[in-house]
Amino acid sequence: MSSQRLQKLTPFLVMDVLERAQELSRSGVDIVHLEVGEPDFDAPPCVREAMMRALNEGATHYTHSLGDLRLREAICSWYDRTYGVGITPDRVLVTSGTSPGMLLAFSVLVSRGSEVIMADPHYACYPNFVRYLDGVPVSVPVRESEGFDLSIEAVKNAMTDRTSAIIVNSPSNPTGTLLSAATMCDIGALDVPVVSDEIYHGLVYEGREHSMLEFTDDTFVLNGFSKLFAMTGFRLGYLIAPPRYIRDLQVLQQNFFISANSLVQEAGISVLEEAGDDIARMRRVYDERRRYMIDRLRQMGFAITTEPTGAFYVFVDASRLSADSYALAFDILEKAHVGVTPGIDFGEGGEGFLRFSYANSHENIAEGLDRLERYIGERLAQS
């Protein structure tokens, strides 16, 4: 029997879709994947070169539990160049992907009964991290008509004496939208630790993203190399935290993970310093796909009143087709052979929506949308 802690967790529904899609693929069905948030690009060449060089030089041993000092210094330089914020390497903890960083951050912030405020819709796994640590997720609805921006008044109304943290995610998964600087400034002034998920930073096509560190030092920044640098399989992330928490985070890291992969850390140093042209190229391609997908979805009758300007997702209200986004996503998969993510995966506020990822080739996106258009036509004709 599972522990009570595990029984609190809910499935990651996009994985349900992906795994069924993989079953169909094994049986010979051609599937177009618009469900997963994984770059289709290869990692920049400097990544492979750095790892091969490190392997040949024998850099295959444990690093410092906080991470290789050179990588932590490179992360600090990146934040200084990008956001004009000064942080020191002793505030950086290198992790094996961003999810372990999230677990560590919530481990020092959440205790039994403490509350963590988050937008709804939100990244699917946030509530499960909080529940796993016996905390209580508190959702604040955000609406497309308001740009999916967090209302500072709604956040204040959700706060209690048990509030231990507020999560912000800009650019957002699933909405692809950015929080305004004014909203982030107001949240930073609330005298509550902020967990800022910045994994999609750098993937912004209109406007400018802001780090929460621009507004408050009382913040836990989650970031990594998976999305911007197309390094999902390398599992490299990092956590920037207030100094008073670092020792506790280090003790957790030492016990649970020891240190991140040494070879991958060498690649992280290289990509932060050398991959500027590769990032610019990938960003241009993503933007082309973004504009194409928005146009095609609008032609199919989806009213996208707030255009996504970051990450690689388009989040659309599909309630005219079905109020049950989970059933709709699987019907699209089985009949049109296109993988999409049900909005309910991202909280009650996402029900009725579907998330489309443009982290796939233009050719595949076009084919997937062609299939979706035929599916919609047939579904509406039968209704």
Residue 227 in contact with residue 199, Cβ under 8 Å?
Answer: yes
Question: At residue 48, does pLDDT exceed 70?
Answer: yes
SS3 state of residue 229: coil
Distance of alpha carbon 3 from alpha carbon 245, whole angstroms: 28
Q: Please report the pLDDT score of residue 264 as a whole number.
A: 97
pLDDT given at position 8: 77
Q: Quick one: average pLDDT of 364-372?
A: 98
The predicted-structure confidence for 281-318, as pLDDT tens digits, reads as follows: 999 999 999 999 999 999 999 999 999 999 999 999 99
Domain coordinates in residue numbering, the chain: 4-42+277-376, 47-274
Average pLDDT over every residue of 369-377: 97
The arrangement of secondary structure in 4-42+277-376, i.e. its CATH architecture, is: Alpha-Beta Complex (3.90)
Question: 310 and 177 in contact (C-beta within 8 Å)?
Answer: yes
CATH class of 47-274: alpha beta
Mean pLDDT of the 41-65 span: 95
Q: Say which residue the tokens 């205790």 belong to.
A: 111
- pLDDT tens, residue by residue, 57-76: 999 999 999 999 999 999 99
Asked if residue 4 has pLDDT above 90, the reply is: no
Confidence of residue 49 (pLDDT cuts 50, 70, 90): very high
With a CB cutoff of 8 Å and minimum separation 6, the contacts of 277 are none
Structure confidence at residue 383 (pLDDT)? 75
The pLDDT of residue 7: 77
User: Residue 2: which pLDDT band, with cuts at 50, 70 and 90?
Assistant: low
Q: Which residue has the higher pLDDT, 124 or 2?
A: 124
Contact 120, 141 (CB under 8 A): yes
Q: Is the pLDDT of residue 1 over 60?
A: no
Tell me how far apart the alpha carbons of residues 79 and 210 are, in angstroms, rounded to a whole number.
11
Those residues whose C-beta lies under 8 Å from the C-beta of residue 281, and which sit 6 or more positions away, are none
Specify the pLDDT at position 24.
96
Output the pTM of the full model. 0.94
**What's the CA gap between 214 and 180, in Å, rounded?**
13
What are the structure tokens assigned to 108, written together? Answer: 């020092």
Nearest C-alpha neighbor of 236 from the set 227, 224, 223:
224
Give the pLDDT confidence score for residue 35 in this predicted structure: 96
CA 81 to chain centre: 22
Average pLDDT, the chain: 96
Q: What is the pLDDT of residues 83-131, one digit of tens each?
A: 999 999 999 999 999 999 999 999 999 999 999 999 999 999 999 999 9
pLDDT digits (tens, 9 = 90+) for 181-202: 999 999 999 999 999 999 999 9
Question: Cβ(149)–Cβ(370) under 8 Å?
Answer: no
What integer pLDDT is reported at residue 99 of this predicted model?
Answer: 96
Per residue in 210-259, pLDDT (tens digit) is 999 999 999 999 999 999 999 999 999 999 999 999 999 999 999 999 99
DSSP string covering 17-74: HHHHHHHHHHTT---EE-S-----SPPPHHHHHHHHHHHHTT--S---TT--HHHHHH
pLDDT of 12 > 90? The answer is no
Q: Collect all residues with Cβ–Cβ distance below 8 Å to 336 and sequence separation of at least 6.
A: 371, 372, 374, 375
